[in-house]
Each structure stands twice: as structure tokens, then as C-alpha cells.
Amino acid sequence: MSSLAVFSLYPHPHPISSHLIHHQQLSRMKFSILALLPVALALPTTEQPTGTLTTRQSATTITDQLIFSSTLPQFTARRNARNPSNLDWSSDGCSNSPDNPFGFPFTPACHRHDFGYRNYKAQSRFTDANRLRIDDKFKADLKYQCSSNGHGSVCNGLADVYYSAVRAFGGGSKKREADLAELDLTHEELVAIYEEKVAIYNALVKEAQEKGELWTLD
């Protein structure tokens, strides 16, 4: 038989040779897939456990959310849980604030105000503008406590006293540059505003007592 005849008998690859080639191809494919597995397993997943969300967020982001986005009850719940634990939750309550003889529920607002001051200082963000934002939120929280607990004008009057007190005396030195720059007010003018709010509050108390809406203090 000529070599040409031999070629004509096997116009396609020999069955055994074809089987060997197919087996080698499968082996290479399996090796490639196995080689990719460690890489695939090392890739991060898009889903994160819900319990780790807080710890993955930056301290500054969480601080801002707790001060400016969360409701006061939501903040209080987080404070009670100390969540997250890496923030400063300490507070003096309202111990350095004006007298509150009628027991208006201002303590949660004072807690958030202390939280804002202390964490902004720790994060080197306690600027004049940020101090004003925290103080303004404090005023809103005080007013919220008055309205949500059914207290009227006397409570709101004392809220104004608290706010004017932190603007005039809070945040450190009484001669802060913020006091001098804010709306062109000097420290003396801020103190005058505070004294005006105290006078308004005292008048509201007297009026409520005359109407029998508040008891008379000894």
C-alpha cells in the first residue's frame, strides 16, 4: 500500500489520538478553573453583614448623622447602647446650664450638645461655624422637648435662655473670635441677649403663676 493510500484511509485524526487531545484539553481547563478559585474566593463580596455597618463608617460621618440627621429619641437610643463605642458619649447633663426649677425635660438635648462639642473637638473639627451648627441643633432639641412633652411658653422661654447661654458663654473662652464675628456681635452684646431672654422667661413664669398654670416657687 502506498503512502498516499495510507493517508486516504485516515482523512480525520485517529480516534485514539483525538481522545488523547480531548483529555489533555479537559485537564488544562480543570487546571485553569482550579487556579482561578483562590482569586475568586479572595474577591470582596458586595453584601456586608448588617452588624458591621456602623464600625465600617468613619467616625466623622457617624458623628454628623447622630447630631444632625437622627431624631433626638434615636440619638438617645444610640447613646444608651454606646453605639458606636469609639465615640465620646460622656456628658455633664445640664449641670452647667441655667436653673430649671420646673423640671422641663432638657437632659436629652444637653446630652446631644455635649456629644457634639466633645466629638468635634476630638476630631479637630470644632470651628466657629461648626460650633454654631451644634448650638443651633441644641436649640431645636430643646424646643422639641417642650413641644413633644406638652409644655408651653414657659418651657420655650427657658429653651431660649439655654441657647443664648451657650452662645454667650459656651465653647471655651468668653472672648472667642466666633463671638466677635457672628453677626457682628461682641461678647458683651451676646451677654445682653442672654439677659434679655432671662427677663422674658421670668415674665412668662410670673404670668403663668398668676393664671395658676405653674406653682409658686419658695
d(C-alpha 62, C-alpha 166), whole Å? 24
d(C-alpha 125, C-alpha 80), whole Å? 25
Closest CA to 15 of 25, 23, 5: 23
Whether 113 is a known active-site residue: answer: yes
d(C-alpha 143, C-alpha 189), whole Å? 23
Instruction: Please list the alpha-helical segments (H only) found in the chain.
Output: 3-9, 15-42, 53-56, 59-64, 72-81, 107-122, 128-148, 153-169, 177-181, 187-210
| Given 12, 113, 151, 187, the catalytic residue | 113
Retrieve residue 161's grid coordinates: 435662655
The neighbour count for residue 92, using CB atoms within 10 Å, is 10
Q: Which residues are catalytic?
A: 113
